[in-house]
């Protein structure tokens, strides 16, 4: 890769900012710059990184999904209940993924076929899915002790957390899908201009539904990782997670108006948010201030993008 191509990467400023943050925390805290701490960060960021893969597709297609956190809650709870009923672990995990995919199908159908605004549809979905999770469990947590589940989120292979392996595989898989598959190209065209996509023969509705089903499916995978990491399935799982995922995707260079985004960038976005979190805890920064700082970082990143785009418009 030559210098010009590196320069054209949308998430380049993010990587630079990331390096700056690492340098800063390393100077600020003696415990920060250690292999064990980096693995900690990666472990924390892994779930966000996994979810960000398909969220990037959703956002590139010009849509949004606010229901991810609630999908994590609902599919986890369904898995927990099935395990309680004595279902085998593999079938229960499959059910977890299936519930995720079903929520995606529901969202996608409403958005593509019934033309309900994606924000509204998934905002409603966010309420409903979590509501269902509360109804199913009467608000109680289900402890998960199965070794297979434990291994997903807390196990290590070759010295690296399994969750991080999962994230890496997903990032590679979806990056390839976006760049080298006809499906990926359709997502880009639909996000760039849905009308042009339709007039080019692309079945826009089918593809939008497909994107949401994928996002739901990956939500189910996120539920597996999440439940494993906290050791239980409960309706409160994943509260607010959709915002962290969307933030990671935006930090990674995606545009909310669609047509543009990077999955590798989104992974760096997730890592950056994880690092910030970790570093601020080490520096003993008050939780409330942590929220303010994360918000500022997001605004700063988007601002950078706006300034960059403005330059290119005027350079024409």
Partner 1 sequence: MPENYILKAEGISKSYPGVKALDEVSMEMVPGRVLALLGENGAGKSTLIEILTGAQKPDSGRIYIQGRERRFNHPIDAKSAGISVVYQELSFVPELTVAENLFITRYGKAHSPFINWKKTFEQGRRAIDEIALSIDLNQKMRDCTVAEKQQVEIARAIHEDARILILDEPTSALNDKEIRNLLDNIRSLKKRGVSVLLITHKLEEIFSVCDDVLILRDGRTIAQKTITETNADELVSLMTGREISDMYPSRQREPGEVLLSVRGLRSSQLHNISFTLRRGEILGVYGLMGSGHLELGMTLFGCGKKTTGEVLLEGKPLSMRAPGDLVRNSVAFLPSDRKLEGLVLDQTIRQNIFTAYYELKGSEGWIRQKKERANAEKWVADLAIKTPGIENTAASLSGGNQQKVVLAKWLETNPKLIILNEPTRGIDVGSKTEIYKILDRLCRSGVSILMITSEMPELLGMSDRILVLHEGGLSAVFEGGQVSQNDIMVAAIGGTPT
Give the shortest CB-196-to-partner 1 separation in angstroms.
Answer: 5
Q: In this structure, are residues 241 and 69 in contact, taking their beta carbons and an 8 Å threshold? A: yes
User: Closest separation between CB of residue 252 and partner 1, Å?
Assistant: 18
- For position 60 contacting partner 1 by CB under 8 A, the verdict is no
- Would you say 169 or 176 has its CB closer to partner 1? 176
The reply to whether 260 sits near partner 1 by the rule CB under 8 A is yes
Those residues with Cβ within 8 angstroms of residue 54's Cβ, 6 or more apart along the chain or in another chain = 174, 211, 214, 215, 217, 218, 219
Q: Is 200 in the site for partner 1 (CB under 8 A)?
A: yes
- Report the residue from 1, 3, 35, 182 that binds partner 1 according to the rule CB under 8 A: 182
Q: Based on CB atoms, which residue is closest to partner 1, 82 or 264?
A: 264
- For position 259 contacting partner 1 by CB under 8 A, the verdict is yes
Q: Which stretch binds partner 1 (CB under 8 A): 152-160, 197-205, 221-229, 272-280?
A: 197-205
Residue 211 interacting with partner 1 (CB under 8 A): no
Q: Would you count residue 117 as binding partner 1 (CB under 8 A)?
A: no
- Out of 62, 80, 100, 184, the only residue in the binding site for partner 1 (CB under 8 A) is 184
Regarding 171 and contact with partner 1 (CB under 8 A), the answer is no
| Alpha-carbon gap, residue 118 to 125, rounded angstroms | 10
Can residue 315 be called a binding residue for partner 1 (CB under 8 A)?
A: yes
Alpha carbon distance 40, 23 (integer Å) = 17
**CA-CA distances (angstroms) from residue 37 to 128, 187, 289?**
37, 37, 22
With a CB cutoff of 8 Å and minimum separation 6, the contacts of 31 are 37, 282
Could you give the CA distance from residue 250 to residue 91 in angstroms, rounded to a whole number? 35
Whether 136 and 80 have beta carbons less than 8 Å apart is answered as: no
Number of residues that bind partner 1 (CB under 8 A): 25
Q: Which residue from 42, 38, 239, 230 is spatially nearest to 150, judged by alpha carbons?
A: 230
What sign does the CA torsion over 164, 170, 172, 174 have? negative
Minimum CB distance to partner 1, residue 259 (Å) = 7
Based on the shown chain and the rule CB under 8 A, indicate whether residue 186 belongs to the binding site for partner 1. Answer: yes
195 part of the interface to partner 1, by CB under 8 A = yes
Supply the minimum distance, in Å, between the C-beta of residue 8 and partner 1: 9
Q: Is 154 in the site for partner 1 (CB under 8 A)?
A: no
Q: Does residue 180 bind partner 1 (CB under 8 A)?
A: yes
- Under 8 Å between Cβ of 301 and 50: no
Check residue 161 and report its DSSP letter.
E
CB of 11 to partner 1, least distance (A): 17
Whole-angstrom Cα distance, residue 224 to residue 210? 21
Q: How far is CA 243 from the centre of its chain?
A: 9
270 binds partner 1, rule: CB under 8 A: no
Evaluate whether 219 touches 125 at the Cβ level (below 8 Å).
Answer: no
* Nearer of residues 34 and 185 to partner 1, judged by Cβ: 185
- Among residues 26, 40, 84, 193, the one that binds partner 1 under rule CB under 8 A: 193
* Binds partner 1 (CB under 8 A): choice among 34, 113, 140, 185: 185
Q: Rule CB under 8 A: say whether 316 interacts with partner 1.
A: yes
Give the span between the Cα atoms of 121 and 132, in whole angstroms.
Answer: 16
Which positions lie near partner 1, rule CB under 8 A? 179-186, 188-189, 192-193, 195-203, 259-260, 315-316
């Amino acid at each position: 890769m030559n210098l010009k191509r590196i320069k054209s990467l949308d998430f380049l400023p993010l990587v630079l900012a990331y390096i700056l943050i690492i340098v800063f925390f390393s100077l600020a805290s003696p415990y920060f710059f250690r292999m064990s701490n980096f693995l900690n960060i990666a472990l924390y960021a892994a779930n966000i990184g996994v979810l960000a893969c398909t969220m990037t597709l959703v956002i590139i297609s010009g849509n949004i999904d606010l229901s991810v956190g609630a999908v994590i809650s609902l599919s986890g709870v369904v898995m927990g209940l099935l395990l309680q009923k004595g279902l085998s672990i593999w079938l229960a995990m499959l059910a977890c993924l299936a519930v995720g995919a079903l929520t995606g199908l529901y969202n996608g159908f409403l958005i593509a076929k019934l033309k309900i605004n994606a924000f509204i549809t998934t905002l409603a979905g966010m309420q409903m899915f979590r509501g269902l999770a509360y109804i199913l469990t009467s608000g109680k947590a289900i402890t998960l002790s199965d070794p297979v589940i434990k291994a997903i989120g807390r196990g290590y292979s070759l010295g690296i957390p399994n969750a991080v392996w999962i994230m890496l595989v997903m990032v590679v898989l979806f990056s390839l899908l976006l760049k080298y598959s006809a499906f990926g190209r359709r997502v880009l065209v639909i996000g760039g201009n849905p009308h042009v996509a339709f007039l080019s023969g692309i079945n826009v509705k089918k593809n939008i539904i497909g994107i949401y089903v994928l996002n739901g499916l990956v939500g189910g995978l996120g539920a597996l990782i999440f439940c494993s990491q906290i050791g239980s399935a409960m309706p409160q799982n994943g509260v607010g997670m959709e915002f962290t995922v969307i933030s990671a995707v935006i930090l990674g260079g995606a545009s909310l108006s669609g047509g543009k985004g990077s999955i590798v960038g989104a992974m760096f976005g997730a890592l950056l948010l994880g690092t910030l979190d970790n570093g601020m805890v080490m520096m003993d920064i008050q939780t409330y201030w942590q929220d303010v700082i994360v918000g500022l970082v997001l605004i700063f990143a988007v601002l950078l993008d706006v300034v960059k785009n403005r330059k290119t418009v005027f350079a024409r």
